[in-house]
Amino acid sequence: MGELHNWVDRKPLGVVALITPFNHPLLIAVKKIAPALAAGNSIILKPSELTPLTSLVLGRLLKGAGLPDGVFTVLPGFGHTTGKALVEHSLIKKVDVTGSTGAGRAIGAIAGQNLAHYTAELGGKAPLIVFEKADLDLAVNGIAFASFIASGQTCVAATRILVEASIYPQLVEKLKTKAESITRRMGSPKNPESMMGPVISAKQLENIVRLVDEAKSKGVTIVTGGERMTDTSSLDGTDLSKGYYYPPTIICSNEHGDIFNTKLWKEEAFGPAIVIVPFATEHEAILHANDSEFGLGAAVWTQDLSQAFRITDQIEAGICWVNTHHRNDPSSPWGGTGSSGVGSENGKDAYYAYTTTKSTIINYAITEAGIANDDWFRDGGEGEVRYG
């Protein structure tokens, strides 16, 4: 700009509030803490009341590593009391939450009162599309991982499985066999041989039961699972009735019941219950995949690379996988559209989200040039048109 030089700095926001969920309590906390600290902020972390201990241990480790007092604080408590008081405070300059869509909307409304910066990674209802050009066995293994890892308690869990009609019967049978293999190996979370443990709480179990029972009432087919586990584990003798155990559950339509009319098609169960439907064309698959208020994750299984590009381009989701699931480069943005949240985490996006920009302009003009050009209120004379 000639005699003027303009530069932009990024400055920390100040005190930021991080609110984390019960699932992946350490991983999700660290994903937020690292960019917030790197940007120069002080942090108050409010972990889920269901899983606070990992965050408290992390706090002790950071203190032991030399982090100054007050830079990182762990604040355990319930969301409706402790969390609400935290995000309402006028000193909080940013709120970053991972949680349910309902919680995200409520927290965002409060943060907005103080015009605080806001990032929200919320619910999902990820579609997973399997085309006839996919490797069927790899796809079945991929669905099992995408749907049942962590007992289905992940925001990007594949809960709506869309399968090309030509391979639908084969895939359903193979996936049923896989799911029942997991069920036989469910047991104590302390047992390293256990393939899947309980869900987090009675409330979470009740939500899964509610959605599956509602689907049953519509006449759909339960391929496998569909009932709370109350027997004894064949793996290690654990009394499953004393925990919140729910088996891998697969549900599909039949001539009497349409899965599209169930709440399970629309609502997030956050558990190991999935629906599986056939499709005839790519267009139909895309329509089903995008039939959701959520838009966080999605997956496509095919060995046809041009098909993979064509389909992922049309799916309304912040993250798309091809022939895999869950995997994410830490430098790649992680976030969704619609009811799945606002903003994104990871990489430079996360760093930028914990900063604000400051623009500085300096005038290097010598005195004579300044007098000649910058005396906006000089007397008389002709010259350029001026303000006013």
For the annotated catalytic residues, the residue numbers are: 121
3-state secondary structure the chain: CCCEEEEEEEEECCEEEEECCCCCHHHHHHHHHHHHHHCCCEEEEECCCCCCHHHHHHHHHHHHCCCCCCCEEECCCCHHHHHHHHHHCCCEEEEEEECCHHHHHHHHHHHHHCCCEEEEECCCCEEEEECCCCCHHHHHHHHHHHHHHHHHCCCCCEEEEEEEHHHHHHHHHHHHHHHHHHHHCECCCCCCCCCECCCCCHHHHHHHHHHHHHHHHCCCEEEECCCCCCCECCCCCCEHHHCCCCCCEEEECCCCCCHHHCHHHHCCCCCCEEEEEEECCHHHHHHHHCCCCEECEEEEECCCHHHHHHHHHHCCCCEEEECCCCCCCCCCCECCEECCEECCECHHHHHHHCEEEEEEEEECCCHHHHHHHHCCCCCCCCCCCCCC
At position 123, the amino acid (one-letter code) is G
Bridge partners for 289 per DSSP? none
Q: What would the two tokens of residue 370 be?
A: 């300044």
Bridge partners for 295 per DSSP? 337
Torsion angle (degrees, nearest 10) of CA 79, 84, 90, 94: 40
